[in-house]
A and B are shown apart, each in its own frame.
Chain A
């Protein structure tokens, strides 16, 4: 296995200084530094990372979800939302991540208040579609998002397909798809 991680990312000291009692965690693997932020503080930390001149992460590369159901290593929550940031000014990259735990059955599409994160579309408007995709695929909702709809599957799709408890071959959505005739509206 690889050596002990080295946390020498240039932005970390500034984040630590600005958010002393938040419980931030950081890890490093293969040269990529990940900052784990509690869900409530995510929006504040993201704004700090963009606005402070020492960090200057003006480019949000992507937003994606991960499901850690039955992952071999213990994680702080079942779902994670990952934000890939890059700074044009300092030419650095940083990954921030927040963990969520569902409170209702994840096989359905019921609203779950625990699976909700503040949207970062007001900081990086480009987050709009990636956040919609994360909602579509994992059912993680984003508060204050301008247009929180599904994006890749259709409106009434009865599942969130990238969750680990969703089977690879689906639940028969395609076979049982309602046929629309000329008369049916």
Chain B
């Protein structure tokens, strides 16, 4: 038996030093299986070329790019407000977090500090986005192993999150809600928003998460299929650039919300000495698929606690920073009711106008459900970014995939893909 499945020995198998697996396909026992790009277990369009030895994966070559649509090229031709609609389509499981990430980085470049109300609302929305993503990922982890019920428990509650997104932004799925210096509109009614979020937090989510945990945590099939599968050590996780729940499941204590705090994760976010929101960062040391599942479930609860702390503290006052400045889009009422409003709208929207931006380069990042989501923006002083490079967490997390599956059974491949939560739209952009 040349294989070991011990969690604490780095990657499960080192192809180069395993005599048995050294050569490519030859002989009758070795065969090649083309997995994807259209396959239900790949969720979207991933393609794997698996060299199998019986049912064991001897070598795996991922081919990506089937969903490549040139987002970064578009980012160089769309202005800082327009590009949010494209960014939103990257991690389409939690689109609101992409919006927040993009405009967080743009505001870092412009040097804009948001109003307290915008910070609180963005924090609440991004934590709701995280809940949205983890619910799907945890549910899909069960689905990939054949437990359809778990998937429905998770997906059902996402419907109510869509309702909140729709109420806030006007769009159910892709909110495209943020704008430079704030958001495109304020909440229609604070009380209704609070009621919707509290209903979700107190009535729906605890029950759904409880159901999921009861179904899966001690489920013999689920645990046996995930424990000890797809292991990676903390050192490897760091040097391979992994972040988010995948890295934290290996014992890497990194979370952008703590390391490089932003929005309400920062102390004194309202300018009057408010404390940062309190939450803990769940970490596991096993580094296998099961601990990734556990870390995600715990993060769901932490996100709920963060929203709980903020939902009654939404400060009154303006949402957009410097309502009279020339940096933000005017309210609709001003556009239709005053000449200044029309001028300001045209100044920002016409092709030969736009922002007078600083010339420079910045990198900023936020903690997305999959890890560090950042944008490296090069500005030439014009209305569009010169270069809007993404740091997609999925891309880095997936690059380690071939190391994770080699040596495992074919049936473990969907389980490992599910535990990494690969979103092909973000992977390929």
Contact = CB atoms under 8 A, between A and B. Distances in A.
Interface of A: 1-2, 29-30, 32, 34, 58-62, 64, 66-67, 71-73, 82, 84, 88, 91, 93, 95, 124-130, 133, 137, 150-154, 161-162, 168
A82 B70 contact: no
B282 to A, nearest CB: 18
Interface string B240-268: 11100000000010100001100000000
A59 B386 CA distance: 26
B68 interface: yes
A58 B387 contact: no
Nearest to B382: A72
Contact of B380 (A34, A62, A71, A82): A71
Which of under 10, 10 to 19, 20 to 34, or 35 or more describes the interface residues of B? 35 or more
Interface in B228-248: 238-242
A84 B73 contact: no
Given A84-B391, A130-B396, A154-B65, A29 B376 contact: no
B396 A82 contact: no
A50 to B, nearest CB: 9
A151 B396 contact: no
B352 to A, nearest CB: 16
A144 to B, nearest CB: 16
Given A2-B358, A84-B376, 4 more contacts: A2-B111, A64-B391, A124-B239, A151-B64
A12 B102 CA distance: 29
Interface string B163-175: 0000000000000
Contacts, number: 106
Nearest to B68: A152
A161 B358 contact: no
Nearest to B74: A168
B77 A168 contact: yes
Contacts of A1: 358
A162 B111 contact: no
A60 B372 CA distance: 12
B97 interface: no
Interface in B57-109: 64-65, 68, 70, 72-74, 77, 108-109
A29 B378 CA distance: 11
Contact of B241 (A34, A59, A67): A59
Contact of A73 (B359, B389, B391, B395): B359
